[in-house]
Structure 1
Amino acid sequence: MTILTLLGSARPKSNTATILGWVEDELKSQGHTVERINVTRKTIGGCIGCAKCREKAEEIGCIQNDDAIEIMEKMIAADCVLFASPVYFWGFTAQLKALIDRTYSLVVNYHTPNHASLMEGKNIALLATGGGQFENNADGMFTAFDRLSGYLLTKKAAELFVGGCSTPDALPDGTQERAIELACGLCL
């Protein structure tokens, strides 16, 4: 399988990046092709709501010329896309959220019988980390991700939340094992 990972943490040695590294190492050890994109190092403008993308159902019709186009092309080409983000104010980091908003250009005819997506049938997964607990912290992010999966017509292959994070050297016991379980869930 070809797996694209999208890191939404601005800190290259963050909790999220550390856990994502374990996931990627496991996937590579299983023979999968893995590419990581740190979206915080890319130029991704927010969706401007112009709806020009609706004019080209068979391709990414977004009129903005930035890094989001190349990233979405890679998302379409991959077998699985893993979104990885720390929880910022009950949701994704701003950089990853901007990319998620731009996936508006991958779907046409939402809420109709002709609903179609350039990502239809692909696996997606979510890895999130946070300093607090899941409830009243990360739960909204996971609800939004479920809705994104339905919007994109994808299969949610796996998800993992690791709470109580302070620094990578103080991650909760069993975190690496949970990361490996997440990796295995991506490939089913």
Structure 2
Amino acid sequence: MKVLTLQGSARKKGNTARVISWMDEELTAMGHEVESVYLSSKNIKGCLACGKCKENMEGVGCIQKDDAPEILQKMIEAELVVFASPLYFWGVSGPLKCLIDRTFSLYNNYHQPDHISLVKGQRQALVVTGAGPYENNAEPTFTAFGRLQGPHMAINAGELFIGPCTSPDQMDSSIKEKAKAFARKIVA
């Protein structure tokens, strides 16, 4: 299976990156092709809501000249996309949120009988790390992600919250096992 991980953390050696590295190792060991994209090092502008992307649904139709169209093309080609981010004020990080907003270009006619999506049937998963608990903290992020599969016509393959996190070196073997088990679950 072709797996694309969209890493929203600004820290390439932070908590989210550590969890994703364990997942990537497990997925690779299982024979899957895994690619990670660190979004904080990319130029991703916010969606303009201009609607130009809806004029031709044969590919990524976004008119903006930044790194998002290339990443969106990688999404189209992937069978599984893992959205990964630290929790920032009850949501995903800015770079990941901008890219999610730009996925507006991947579907057309949402809520209509002729609804189409360039990622139809794709498996999508969410991994979030946070300093606090899940309750009264991370729920909005998971609610929003659960709704994303509607317009994408995608499959929610799974959701994982790791918290409370302090630093990557404080993550014990139980968290590593959770990450590996989650990796196995999202490709099953």
TM-score bucket of the superposed structures, by smaller chain: over 0.9
- In the TM superposition, residue 174 of structure 1 has moved relative to its aligned partner by 1.1
Which runs of 4 or more aligned residues in structure 1 lie more than 2 Å from their structure 2 counterparts after TM superposition? none
* Residue segments in structure 2 that go unaligned for 5+ positions in a row: none
Q: For 1:174, what is the secondary structure of its paired residue?
A: helix
Distance 1:143 1:104 in 2: 18
Match of 2:88 in 1: 88
Match of 2:124 in 1: 124
* Residue type of the alignment partner of 1:43: N
Instruction: Output one character per residue of 1:2-24: Cα deviation in whole Å (capped at 9) or x when no partner.
Output: 10001100011100000000000
Distance 2:114 2:171 in 1: 45
Find out whether 1:163 has 2:168 as its counterpart.
Answer: no
Paired residues of 1:164 and 1:172 also in contact (CA < 8 A): no
Distance 2:79 2:30 in 1: 15
Match of 2:108 in 1: 108
Q: For 2:61, what is the secondary structure of its paired residue?
A: coil
| TM-score normalized by the length of structure 2 | 0.98
Distance 1:88 1:126 in 2: 14
- In the TM superposition, residue 65 of structure 1 has moved relative to its aligned partner by 1.3
Distance 1:59 1:75 in 2: 11
Distance 1:128 1:63 in 2: 30
Find out whether 1:187 has 2:177 as its counterpart.
Answer: no
Match of 1:20 in 2: 20
Match of 1:175 in 2: 175
* Residue type of the alignment partner of 2:114: N
Q: For 1:92, what is the secondary structure of its paired residue?
A: coil
- In the TM superposition, residue 172 of structure 1 has moved relative to its aligned partner by 5.5
Q: For 2:74, what is the secondary structure of its paired residue?
A: helix
Q: Please, what is the CA RMSD of the aligned residues?
A: 0.9
Matches within 5 A, 1:29-44: 29-44=29-44
* Residue segments in structure 1 that go unaligned for 5+ positions in a row: none
How many residues of Structure 1 are paired with residues of Structure 2 in the alignment?
188
Find out whether 1:69 has 2:53 as its counterpart.
Answer: no
Instruction: Output one character per residue of 1:111-150: Cα deviation in whole Å (capped at 9) or x when no partner.
Output: 1111111000010100000000111211100000011111
Paired residues of 1:24 and 1:34 also in contact (CA < 8 A): yes
Match of 2:136 in 1: 136
Distance 2:36 2:57 in 1: 27
Match of 1:55 in 2: 55
